[in-house]
Amino acid sequence: MDCYLVAYDLKSLIRDICGRESQEDGSWCDLVEKAFRLSDKVMTEIQQNPNKGIMEQLETVAVNLWNFTVSLKTGRRLSLLSNAKLRHICLKIVEATVITTEDTMKIKRKIAMGLKTARAWLDTKDIPMAIKVLDLTDQFIKQLQKLVIEDINKLGASDSLEKEKLDVEQDLFKLLCYKAEASVAQSENSTALELIQIAKEMLIRFPQEGAFLSMLCYNFGVELYQKKKLEEAVSWLKESFEMGKHQTNLDARNQARTLRLLASVYLEMDQEDLLQKALNAVTLANNEYPHPSGLFLYLRILLKAKEPNSVINKAILDIMQQPGISPDVGINTALILSKNERHDLAVGLMKELLKKFEHSANIGDLLMSNFDILLAARDKQSLKEFVEFCIVENNTHRALEPAVKSRFHIEFWALAYTADEEKNYQEALDWYNYSLSLYSREESGDQNLARLHRNRATCYLNLGQMDKATEAVNEAKKLDPSSINTLFMLFKLALAGSNVEQAKDVLQNMCSEVAKLENTDKESEAQKLICQAAFMAYESHKESTASLALECLANCSSDLYQTLTALRCLIRLKLSQVDQDKSLSLEDIGILRDIRMAYNKLLQAQDIGGKMSQKQSEEASWFMRVAWNLALKCEKKPDLMKDLFILCSQYSGLCPDDEENTLMRKKTCLLMAAAACLQQARTEGMMGVIKQNFLEETIHLIHECKVINQQIKQEMDLDSSLDSRSRDKADILMLMYEFEACCKLEDPTVEEVIEVLLKIPNPDPKPFETIAALSLEPPSHHKNIAVRALKIAIRKHQQQPTVDYQRISALFHSLIQMALNSVSDNTKQEALGYYGEVVDLIDKKAQKDYPEIETQWLMVKAWNCGITFFSSGRYELAEKWCSTGMSLLKYLTPGMQSNYSERMTNTYADILDQMDKRKIKKSKKGLEE
């Protein structure tokens, strides 16, 4: 960017700045800011490409902008910052364009502009910018000084040259003052003192500036005092006073003001050795120019110095004898005495003030101040006497101002509250009664009056004065009948009088009122009262009333954690009632409803992503544990058990845990619910439709378990380290429940359960035994399934590392019994096959491990079957069965064999004989033919 472009842009910006009708809007300030930034580039561009014509144009523009700025400032249409920036722009342009070192008029103009620009930056508190301008102005002043000295040396002294020299020194004096101000602002106190010292030495030439310099030092002292730089403040204030002593144009009032501030600084420094200096300073101030603030400061210093009452009294007298003293000065004097624990003096002074200003418009302030002073003096008797005096005056002579009455009410209630906290209920009642005495008939509609009666009722209740408490709360009821607080007070009275039914009625009304306050500011306060009511009822051993309160709170509270806390307390309370009263059941106390309500509240509290906070998850865990433990205790109540386990499964999704554990927990809960549902279906005498509904619900729950199973399988596939044994056990149990339900529903797909069971790696024989038993359990009769299940169970038993022949014998027993119960020859043939398997098993594997009693049963059963066939003339079949029976005889102990051997041998011989005869007969018949 060259000189021409800078000049063009700058002139355009300044033209726009001066041409706008409205200033200090956003766009105008933006123009000023752009010109301000561009002005810093002027010097560089002109030095590189000097152009006289452009420089003259810019100088003219700068002068016009300066005049424009002055007019805006005069009209108070310019902010401090804009004023500083505009003046800075003009100064930078003039600095760049006016490069002469010979033209004194132009240098003077630069000095004037520099000083005013520096002043503008100081006013904005932008000290770095002010210092830059001051340093630049210092250069201008030195240039002018050099020219004036050269002219004097060249032309000799003259009045005009002396005046020019004096003007330069005047500018230098102002420059030193501004630099000192900047140094103080930057906490460079020693530099500022040096600059003021130089300026002070120049007062010989400018004696009229002494008062200004003194006031400047005073302002420095004030500024440092406000910044709590007390030692520096002292040095400036002392400098101000010393400088002002010799100034005829500085009156005594200003000097006294400096001394009073000096004394205040000494006092605030809080050093015992400085108290005398403070006293000297304020005494001198009071001698220079007596003023109430000086006398008051003198009293403060005396109190700080712990002077005796006689000295303090003299200071008080000096204050009070000031002409035209106002009540405020007297009040402040009494309060400072009270604050410094000169209570007797404070009380005495207030008596004088009350007498002196009894007809003043400030009488209310005096009364309240006297109250505060008596309260601080801890003179309760005098305080109460004064209060009673005020009440009498209010009610009989001169009514207190509303603001004063309001303040008295506040103070009385505060004292009553303190007394109540200290359990001094009579004292609290006294203060509430004082407050009541201040009310007039016209104020009977004041809502605070109802509150006041409630507070009085509380005091009477604590004092055991039930009749008066009732009377007070009835007054509150007249004034504010629907107030939840009034109802709460009635509840407390009913509870205290052991009137449980009345307490419940009032509590019901409270709950109704709370419902009306939904989504209002008073809702939270009302809910707290319900909480308190519940606690009070519980403490009074009125559990049913406490339960009612907690139920109300749970139903009406919009605060999640308050609701959950109420439900937890309610559940604990109800469970304790069940423990104490064995006639109560879980259904009677409605505990399921409470647990379900907590679940619904937590479900609503989930965020959009379905996530819950740690605290909410912990709450869910608590309710889930309660539901689980209660469910386990409901063995005789399967309907309740089912509902509780279903709730557990719902809660499991809200509890903190990893995905796989959550699914396992949910599946377990649903499985337990299915078991409970199945248990309901097993109930004797249940109607068919209802039983069918329970069985179908069982199937539905099992289906949900299967869905979860698929999710678990996906999780386990991702992590092969997870143990599947516990899952297999649960799966088998799930299949057993499904089989039983399907069996009783006569579901044609029931046999598919066996196929699923067989796919489980190394299944235990027990499930197949159960399936066999369930297949034949009325009303079901799936003989084929039972037979197949028994065969699989036998095979699985034989595949076990340790074979349980006791169980195998029982299974063969069932299998053979089932076959023999049939009249069909085919099933009899099947039974013979089973016998063959048993004999083979005993002979090759079991031997003596096979239970003898079962061997005996098999033998007898086979023998009897053979005898039946023998009796009916079916000798071939009889021989098969009897020979099978006899084959088992050898596996009995000798003692047992002796019981059967002879008889069986003889009978078996008869069977063979009959068989031979039949053969002969058949052969003869064949010959005859």
pLDDT digits (tens, 9 = 90+) for 764-776: 899 998 988 888 8
| Structure-model confidence comparison of residues 580 and 34, the more confident one | 34
CA separation, residue 389 to residues 382, 383, 438, 442, 499 (Å): 10, 10, 12, 21, 42
d(CA 814, CA 147): 137
Q: Is the pLDDT of residue 474 over 80?
A: yes
Lowest-confidence range among 450-464, 520-534, 712-726? 712-726
d(CA 534, CA 506): 13
The letter for the amino acid at 305 is: A
d(CA 284, CA 268): 18
| Structure-model confidence comparison of residues 98 and 340, the more confident one | 340
Model confidence band, residue 282 (pLDDT cutoffs 50, 70, 90): very high
Lowest-confidence range among 43-47, 737-741, 841-845, 890-894? 43-47
Contacts of 562 (CB under 8 A, 6+ apart): 527, 531, 553
Model confidence band, residue 663 (pLDDT cutoffs 50, 70, 90): confident
Q: Is the pLDDT of residue 132 over 90?
A: yes
d(CA 648, CA 638): 15
**Which of 802, 814, 832, 726 is CA-nearest to residue 771?**
814
The letter for the amino acid at 857 is: W
Predicted TM-score (pTM) above 0.75: no
Q: Is the pLDDT of residue 66 over 60?
A: yes
Q: Is the pLDDT of residue 609 over 80?
A: no
* Torsion (CA) 846, 851, 854, 856 in degrees, nearest 10: 90
Q: Give the pLDDT confidence score for residue 139 in this predicted structure.
A: 92
* Torsion (CA) 282, 287, 288, 292 in degrees, nearest 10: 60
Q: Give the pLDDT confidence score for residue 550 in this predicted structure.
A: 84
Q: How far apart are the first and last CA of the chain?
A: 148
Model confidence band, residue 882 (pLDDT cutoffs 50, 70, 90): very high
Q: Give the pLDDT confidence score for residue 191 in this predicted structure.
A: 95
d(CA 298, CA 724): 92
In the chain, DSSP finds a helix count (H) and a strand count (E) of 43, 0
Percent pLDDT > 70 in the chain is: 95
**Which of 746, 761, 771, 663 is CA-nearest to residue 708?**
663
**Which of 17, 20, 41 is CA-nearest to residue 31?**
17
Model confidence band, residue 610 (pLDDT cutoffs 50, 70, 90): low
Tell me the pLDDT of the chain averaged across its residues.
Answer: 87
Q: Give the pLDDT confidence score for residue 686 in this predicted structure.
A: 72
| Structure-model confidence comparison of residues 181 and 479, the more confident one | 181
Q: Is the pLDDT of residue 59 over 60?
A: yes
Contacts of 500 (CB under 8 A, 6+ apart): 494, 542, 544, 545
**Which of 127, 82, 133 is CA-nearest to residue 110?**
133
pLDDT tens string 367-418 = 999 999 999 988 889 999 989 988 988 888 778 888 898 999 999 999 999 9
Q: Is the pLDDT of residue 908 over 50?
A: yes
Q: Is the pLDDT of residue 717 over 80?
A: no
Contacts of 374 (CB under 8 A, 6+ apart): 347, 382, 383, 386
The letter for the amino acid at 62 is: A
Model confidence band, residue 652 (pLDDT cutoffs 50, 70, 90): confident
Work out the burial of residue 33: count CB atoms within 10 Å of its CB; fewer than 13 is exposed, 13-18 middle, 19 or more buried.
middle
Q: Give the pLDDT confidence score for residue 927 in this predicted structure.
A: 39
The DSSP output letter for 845 is I
How many CB atoms are closer than 10 A to CB 730?
17
CATH 1.25.40.10 corresponds to the domain 379-480: yes
The letter for the amino acid at 644 is: L
For residues 241 and 262, the answer to whether their CB atoms sit within 8 Å is yes
Q: Give the pLDDT confidence score for residue 520 in this predicted structure.
A: 67
Contacts of 747 (CB under 8 A, 6+ apart): 741
Q: Give the pLDDT confidence score for residue 926 in this predicted structure.
A: 46
d(CA 270, CA 292): 23
Q: Give the pLDDT confidence score for residue 721 in this predicted structure.
A: 47
Q: Is the pLDDT of residue 684 over 80?
A: no
Model confidence band, residue 364 (pLDDT cutoffs 50, 70, 90): confident
For residues 255 and 244, the answer to whether their CB atoms sit within 8 Å is yes
Percent pLDDT > 90 in the chain is: 39
Model confidence band, residue 484 (pLDDT cutoffs 50, 70, 90): confident
- Tokens 């001051």 label which residue? 134
How many CB atoms are closer than 10 A to CB 613?
13
pLDDT tens string 418-472 = 999 999 999 999 999 999 998 887 776 677 898 999 999 999 999 999 999 999 9
Q: Give the pLDDT confidence score for residue 85 in this predicted structure.
A: 93
How far is C-alpha 601 from the chain's CA centre?
Answer: 18
For residues 369 and 331, the answer to whether their CB atoms sit within 8 Å is yes
Q: Give the pLDDT confidence score for residue 722 in this predicted structure.
A: 47
- Tokens 């304790």 label which residue? 576
Work out the burial of residue 442: count CB atoms within 10 Å of its CB; fewer than 13 is exposed, 13-18 middle, 19 or more buried.
exposed
How far is C-alpha 241 from the chain's CA centre?
Answer: 58
For helices 104-123 and 159-185, angle between their N-to-C axes, nearest 10 degrees: 20
**Which of 511, 451, 440 is CA-nearest to residue 477?**
451
Q: Which fold has domain 482-584?
A: 1.25.40
* 368: phi then psi, degrees, rounded to nearest 5: -65, -40
Q: Give the pLDDT confidence score for residue 173 in this predicted structure.
A: 95
